[in-house]
Structure 1
Amino acid sequence: MNPTRFTAACIQMRSGRDVLKNRDAAVALVREAAEKGAHFAQTPEMTSLVCRERAEMFEKVGPQAQDPVLAALREVAREKGIMVQIGSIAVKEGDKVANRAFLIDTDGEIVAAYDKIHLYDVDLPNGESWRESATYTGGSKAVLAETPWGYLGMTICYDVRFAALYKALAENGASYLSAPAAFTRQTGEAHWNILHRARAIETGSFMISAAQGGLHEDGRETFGHSIIVDPWGRVLAEGGTAPGVILAEIDPALVTEVRGRIPTLKNARPFQVEVAPASETLGRAATA
């Protein structure tokens, strides 16, 4: 591996209800990425299973030690000498499931694991309703993982809307941030691209996020558009909705350059929020 530059790949998928089919699709695409020159490959959120029904999910997932997708991607990392970030898999934890990401090194060893902190509970105008907290247990720790090129901040999907998380990761040494996702089509069309560019610009970091894309077996539709953004906010690579691989060359020196030009992490200052009392004139207007 070249310690100064590397090629990153996002593996875009359309995972369904069959864990073993999803495993085989992920392995094939990671192999493809490695054969195209990637040193690092990332799969999307819920690589192992996209399944709306809670009962069905619990029948098909198990503890981390028995997960076939984790085992297979550890093996392909060893086989191809590539670092693999599993965007997330579902791991059974008591009466709920952890939405857990993993970073695997070139020896197939697990370097780090991260449980998604922010859970997506919402009712959308189109009638869709999501209650991740009914199925998933939220994490409580932000995670920095060491790579040969610097530290990677691991997050998942909905986390990308919480800017303070990315600021904290960057302040603690992350040069690369990730939010592998299964964004809905509706919210993705509105916000996916701009959120990634914003997180990159705010922190002077690379954003690398693989995504689920297209119409899934369980009826949900995800946005896709796996994306790699540089610290200046430039989109280096972006996918569509079909499964596949996108790649971009990553120059770690650009993080130092951009943070030197716009040192927001260094210039940030503590502050308090003061709520100013209403004036008498404003009070009279409110009651008029």
Structure 2
Amino acid sequence: MLTSEPTPLPATLATRLIVEPRIRVRTSVLPAEDPERASAVCADSGVPLALLARHGATVRQTHRRANVVVIDVPAERQDALRTDLAAAGFDARPPKPVFPLLNESVPAQHVPAIWRAGFEGAGLRIAIVDTGADRHPDFAGRIALAQDFTEHGDVDDVGHGTHVAGIAAGAGAVYRGVAPKATLVIAKALAGDGGSEDAVLAAMSWASRQNVDVMNLSLGGPGDPKDPLAARPDVVQLARPGAGPARPQARPRRDRRRGHARGCLPLRRRRRERPRERARP
């Protein structure tokens, strides 16, 4: 149901900072995986640990591909630490909020024809980075691993991740996913109040270690054309208009034109094939 209220923001946005170091992050360390190693990687990247300690902050995780360090900091010290990091020449900001998005799967994909050709996903490992997934009979024996990165437990309290997993690999008698024989790897990065990009980064890092062939993220958040990750020349940007959340956000989307962003590869939505109108007698 749509409401007039803006989507609430996760509380963790006030207790974390994402820092872009001067030196490339050499490896990814997941939250709580190895705090000492995470601190060492942070220090090797040029972020001063003494400065973090003065504000009661600790290194939560590092991410090699995104080249960022995530810091846990008391909420009352977040602004002060951000100011001191900026004075030391580091870009630091709170994580961006992210929310689950649900897009419709249509018969235009011609998936049954692929099944008839003998391709049903056997041997594939698909990672679902979402709100988790229920142990539904349609996934029986095919959820290889599941991990929570939200600190809310691994239960899918939204249902979005279960739905997405069903689209990808459900094997029901009536409703089937695209790859009904694939193995699932579930990484919970969002909860009932959404999530934050640091949790998504941690979930992606973990999933990439599980020998997956495909990683799906049906989520989104506020856009920023100046985002350093989006501006990197080795990152391909894909965009389709009209894929925003159904729930109203705090600020309205300003522009839905396709392909107006520099360096972005626009996608065109395929329209449904409507049945032909019957000829009138």
TM tier, smaller = under 0.3
TM-score by length of 1: 0.27
TM-score by length of 2: 0.28
Which structure carries more strand by proportion? 1
Which structure carries more helix by proportion? 1
